[in-house]
Amino acid sequence: ARTRAAAGAMEPWVLAVLVLMIGALIAWQIFGPLLGGDSATASAHHILVMDKDGSAEKRATLTALKATIEKQAAAASAAGGGGGGTKIDALLTAFGNAAKEHSECPSKARGGDLGTFGRGQMVPPFDAAVFEGPVGEVIGPVQTNFGWHLILVTGRTPPKGTGDAAGKPKGA
């Protein structure tokens, strides 16, 4: 197993869980509207550091990474001045670059982009962070059975018929 990890391959159980999560997302995208998919949806990016043991060291690493992302985004936003870029654009760029470098999820190739998904499609702690946390700010670290996550919710839609317009990022 050590050789496999050193070579960058995933443990079989991690790969199986990721395949199931991606399959559920695809099924939701295809069949959700047909089944009256009127639950809230969210769009998010994440950075995953795998950890079965709840390591304080890995949590601290992600806490430091969160601060770095926020500093980079603030600096880029301030430097952009009136160049048309928004705070969320700067945050997405900084977060995406960090995901590509630090995440252990295949979504890192897309800057951690998980696309759009419905409430209840992700594991409970992740789901709660995405649907209850702020839009347009880095959330976390959040611990799940996969490890530690930093999450950037980029948009959220309320359940149909609620009339709630919340879900636009700050600074957008």
Question: CA separation (Å) from 18 to 100, 161, 163?
Answer: 17, 32, 34
Mean of pLDDT values over 139-168: 83
Mean pLDDT, the chain, rounded, equals 84
Cα angle value 85/88/93 (rounded, 5°): 80
Cα 56 from Cα 61, distance rounded (Å): 9
Question: CA separation (Å) from 47 to 38, 95, 126?
Answer: 28, 8, 12
Cα 90 from Cα 101, distance rounded (Å): 17
pLDDT of 166 reads 53
Q: pLDDT tens digits, residue range 44-78?
A: 999 999 998 888 999 999 999 999 999 999 998 88
pLDDT of 91 reads 96
pLDDT of 52 reads 83
For the entire predicted model, the pTM comes to: 0.73
Cα 60 from Cα 141, distance rounded (Å): 9
Q: pLDDT tens digits, residue range 114-148?
A: 999 999 899 999 999 999 999 999 999 999 999 99
% of the chain surpassing 90 pLDDT: 57
pLDDT of 14 reads 83
Cα 66 from Cα 141, distance rounded (Å): 8
Mean of pLDDT values over 140-157: 96
Structure token pair of residue 23: 């399959």
pLDDT of 53 reads 84
> What domains are defined for the chain?
38-157 (3.10.50.40)
pLDDT of 145 reads 92
Question: CA separation (Å) from 21 to 42, 49, 61, 92?
Answer: 15, 17, 25, 23
Q: Which is more confidently placed, 11 or 120?
A: 120
pLDDT > 80? residue 10 = no
% of the chain surpassing 70 pLDDT: 78
pLDDT of 64 reads 98
The H or E element spanning position 139 is strand 138-144
pLDDT of 160 reads 72
